[in-house]
């Protein structure tokens, strides 16, 4: 009985999905780029709407390119996650919910993947829209690009919401094309009614045995 109870408890507290790809543009080959600029500013955002499962955000990956220059240091790039609306007219809004840490490195050539991690723990709530907003410092003069994917990002746990690009932070102007990015995370464990029922029967039997 104790072994059975232990197994039920273990199943109840184990996350549904660990280390999952929530939404991704990979594998594809880029067919263009959205320009990131520092002066005057030109910022880019890619949106997605979560499905029925909440996830703890573990990382975001974005494909960048250097245009007419050998390379860019990743120290010129900044990324934040915003809230907002989804769907065909959705856009980011408000203030950053969490910043993402970008590792030291370089963007060179037409396809450089950069993986960034949340600066603090953050949960992507179910049925909620989020926007990954990318911007640069003032020294970037338009030769840094965020790559375009031929097809929208797809995934089991979220839907793609589109791209915005302009000088606002966060950018408010909808654009055609698809941001080349990926969102990864760990599913948040949520024991439900079935789990509670599964725990109830062994506990009831154990209680009756103790009374005898």
193 within domain boundaries: no
The whole-angstrom separation of Cα 132 and Cα 46 is 5
Say what the pLDDT of residue 189 is. Answer: 86
The whole-angstrom separation of Cα 49 and Cα 47 is 7
Closest CA to 131 of 186, 76, 94, 177: 94
198 within domain boundaries: no
Residue 82: pLDDT band (50, 70, 90) is very high
143 within domain boundaries: yes
4 within domain boundaries: no
Token pair belonging to 138: 């003032």
Sign, CA dihedral 144-141-117-18, equals: negative
Q: CA torsion 142→144→150→151, rounded to 10°?
A: -100
Sign, CA dihedral 193-199-202-204, equals: negative
47 within domain boundaries: yes
Q: Whole-model pTM?
A: 0.84
Percent helix, strand and coil across the chain, each to the nearest 5: 15, 45, 35
- Percent of the chain beyond pLDDT 70? 81
CATH number, position 89 = 2.60.120
Residues sharing a CB contact under 8 Å with residue 134, sequence separation 6 or more, in sequence order: 36, 43, 44, 45, 62, 77, 78, 79, 146
2 within domain boundaries: no
Token pair belonging to 26: 């990979």
Q: Pairing state of beta strands 33-36 and 71-73? A: unpaired
**Total residues found in the chain within this entry:** 212
Output DSSP code: residue 87. S
| Domain with 69 in it | 22-188
Q: Is the pLDDT of residue 107 over 50?
A: yes
164 within domain boundaries: yes
Residue 30: pLDDT band (50, 70, 90) is very high
Number of domains in the chain: 1
17 within domain boundaries: no
Q: Is the pLDDT of residue 210 over 60?
A: no
- Weakest-pLDDT range from 47-56, 63-72, 152-161, 167-176: 63-72
Cis peptide before 15 (omega within 30 of 0): no
Q: Is the pLDDT of residue 57 over 60?
A: yes
Q: Is the pLDDT of residue 80 over 90?
A: yes
Q: Is the pLDDT of residue 7 over 50?
A: no
């Amino acid at each position: 009985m104790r072994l059975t109870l232990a197994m039920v408890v273990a199943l109840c507290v184990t996350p549904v999905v660990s280390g999952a790809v929530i939404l991704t543009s990979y594998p594809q080959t880029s067919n263009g780029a959205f320009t990131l600029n520092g002066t005057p500013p030109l910022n880019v955002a890619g949106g997605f709407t979560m499905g029925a499962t909440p996830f703890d955000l573990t990382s975001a990956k974005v494909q960048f390119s250097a245009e007419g220059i050998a390379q860019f240091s990743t120290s010129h790039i900044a990324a934040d996650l915003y809230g907002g609306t989804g769907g065909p007219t959705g856009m980011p809004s408000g203030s950053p919910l969490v910043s993402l840490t970008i590792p030291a490195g370089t963007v060179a050539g037409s396809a450089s993947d950069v993986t960034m991690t949340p600066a603090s723990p953050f949960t992507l709530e179910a049925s909620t829209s989020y926007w990954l907003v990318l911007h640069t410092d003032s020294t970037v003069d338009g030769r840094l690009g965020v790559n375009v994917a031929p097809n929208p990002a797809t995934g089991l746990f979220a839907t793609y919401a589109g791209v915005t690009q302009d000088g606002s932070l966060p950018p408010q102007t909808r654009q055609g094309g698809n941001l080349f990015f990926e969102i990864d995370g760990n599913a948040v464990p949520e024991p439900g009614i079935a789990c509670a029922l599964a725990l109830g029967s062994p506990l009831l039997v154990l209680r009756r045995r103790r009374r005898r």
